[in-house]
Amino acid sequence: MTFPNVLVLNYLKSTKQASPEIQIKAENYIALGYQRLLTFEVQGGGFSLYGRAPATVMLSAKGLLEFGDMAKVYPVDPALITRTRNWLLAQQKSDGTWTPTSGWDAPASGGSDALPLTAYVTWAILESGLKDDARVSRAIAYIKENAARATDGYTMAMVANALVAYDPNDAMTRDALARLNAIQVADGDGAYYPTRIGSFTGAYGVYGNIETTGLAAYAFIRARQYPEAAQRALTYLVQKKDPRGTWGSTQATILALRALIQSVIEAGETSGDATVRVAFNGAQAKPIVINKENAGVMQIITFDDINPGTNRIAFQVEGKGALAYQVSANYYLPWQSVPPVAEKDKLVDIQVRYDRTALAVNDEVRVTATVRLTKDGTARMSIIDLGIPPGFIVQSEDLEAAVRAKTIARYELTGRQIIIYLEEFDSKKPITFNYRLKAKFPLRAQTPSSTTYDYYNPSTTSTQAPTTLTVK
């Protein structure tokens, strides 16, 4: 989540709300993320998902955007930005385009259309500070010539951002924004911009719409055009925020934050103080005072020990200003009370099997994990989260072999889980792999649940209940 931290710190500094404590904490997170991102640079230039050749154009452009934003709040090596930009320009075709050479270079539904990728790369290069260059001019000429044939919201939003970054007052830019504005879909008091083809990350449905709406709102705000459309798009984004304060996936969160933060920066300082009072079932929490110093800071009120059944939350706001709020709840159920997902509603399935559940200290249990997509298609990046029972150590040799065999793309070990990454996971090719756990202590332990999900469409998920292991 390095990019969101970059965007938030930029917002806090732009609005003069970055206290020394917050700035130091954010910079520490960014420093760690920056060093990790550097490991994804491919020898010879460009970036790939895990730093292995070949580099991909879209991921390199995404990296260029991130490093450009990061440089506003953190000391980024200028040579890195120049090197990445030059690598991207070296991949450009003579007609000014960038054409897809990997799955990541095309939206979710695939295809070889050069327009979405060309618009995205051009936008990234312009945001990095390069404009007066013949290669950029060729790309802009291609985008202008082909902008009218874009009919999907995602491509239209990419085109609009590239043209706005180049010249927000150009007639072709205004036309692109008008065409984008015309496809908005009302959603209550908000509006979204739909996509049928999905995004570069493989997001579709609501998550594809969030990415597209974030891009559309950002283009309107940067161009200072269609303010009502931008506000309705921002309203939609605020309403789609999940209980964790994000938008499901990293990319959806980045694009939503980009638009929301840019709207605050463009609007300047707000005026008016307010006091917010929240009561839960009549019990009053400590009032929250909103003023100029803390207007951009999220305030959290927590109520514990909530009884099942009907509960009442009451809000009272005294003062001026428009405030956004969110109510979320966490609760736990016994596994036997969790309703199973109907087979017809499943999009992905995970099965984890242990070759035995009773063993002695220093014995090994062999685990077999099988994951499959139940509907036709491909998930650009999937995550398998395998729970490690307490008192067991993962024998990683089998996982290393699975990486070498390209059964899985990558794995990471934490104290309580094995995280498996799958790239371009195809419904026609279910994944099965094995690993071993070694018992270190006598105990009776329940494994954490095992989950798999599409990283950029996190509602596509499946969970297997825990298994109890006994070690004597």
Are the C-beta atoms of 81 and 61 separated by less than 8 Å?
no
pLDDT at 321 (0 to 100): 67
pLDDT at 420: 96
Give the pLDDT confidence score for residue 165 in this predicted structure: 97
Q: Find, among 356, 351, 350, 349, the residue nearest to 436 by Cα.
A: 356
Dihedral of CA 418/422/428/429: which sign? negative
Residue 190 to residue 210: CA distance in whole angstroms: 12
Q: Note the pLDDT tens digit of each residue in 234-285.
A: 999 999 998 888 898 889 999 999 998 888 888 765 556 888 999 999 888 8
Considering the entire predicted model, what is its pTM?
Answer: 0.87
Tokens of 78: 């200028």
Strands of 392-395's sheet in order across: 348-354, 364-373, 431-439, 392-395
Nearest in space to 382 (alpha carbons), one of 1, 49, 55: 49
What does residue 246 show for φ and ψ, rounded to 5 degrees? -120, -175
DSSP for 71-113 reads TTTS---HHHHHHHHHHHHHT--TTS-----SGGGS-TT----
pLDDT truncated to tens, each residue of the chain (472 aa)? 577 777 777 777 776 666 677 777 777 888 888 898 899 999 999 999 888 899 999 999 999 999 988 888 888 899 999 999 999 999 999 999 999 998 899 998 878 899 999 999 999 999 999 999 999 999 999 999 999 999 999 999 999 999 999 999 999 999 999 999 999 999 999 999 999 999 999 999 999 999 999 999 999 999 999 999 999 999 999 999 988 888 988 899 999 999 988 888 887 655 568 889 999 998 888 898 888 777 666 788 888 878 888 999 998 888 876 677 888 888 888 888 888 777 777 789 999 999 999 999 999 999 999 999 998 888 999 999 999 999 999 999 999 999 999 999 999 998 889 999 999 999 999 999 999 999 999 999 888 889 999 989 988 889 988 899 999 9
Ordered alpha helix ranges (H), 40-199: 57-70, 78-90, 115-127, 134-146, 153-166, 171-181
Q: What is the pLDDT of residue 217?
A: 97
DSSP sequence for 398-453: HHHHHHHTTSSSEEEE-SSEEEEEEEEEETTS-EEEEEEEEE-S-EEEEPPPEEEE
**Residue 95 backbone phi and psi in degrees, to 5:** -90, 10
pLDDT at 167: 97
Across 101-131, b (16+ Cβ under 10 Å) vs e yields: bebbbbbbbeeebbbbbbbbbbbbbbbbebe
Q: Which two tokens stand for residue 243?
A: 């209980």
Tokens 């990997």 sit on residue: 102
Name the region of 198 (left: φ>0; alpha: ψ -120 to 50; beta: rest).
left
Helix (H) or strand (E) holding 393: strand 392-395
Q: What's the token pair of residue 258?
A: 């980009």
Structure tokens, 137? 């001019």
Q: What is the pLDDT, as a whole number, of residue 21? A: 75
**What is the pLDDT at residue 30?**
84
**CB atoms inside a 10 Å sphere around CB 140:** 24
CB atoms within 10 A of CB 464: 19
Q: What does 226-260 look like in DSSP terms, one character per residue? A: -HHHHHHHHHHHHHT--TTSS-SSHHHHHHHHHHH
Q: What is the C-alpha separation between 164 and 234, in angstroms, rounded?
A: 19
Residue 144 CB partners (closer than 8 Å, separation 6+):
163, 172
Per-residue pLDDT of 309-325, as tens digits, reads 899 999 888 887 667 78
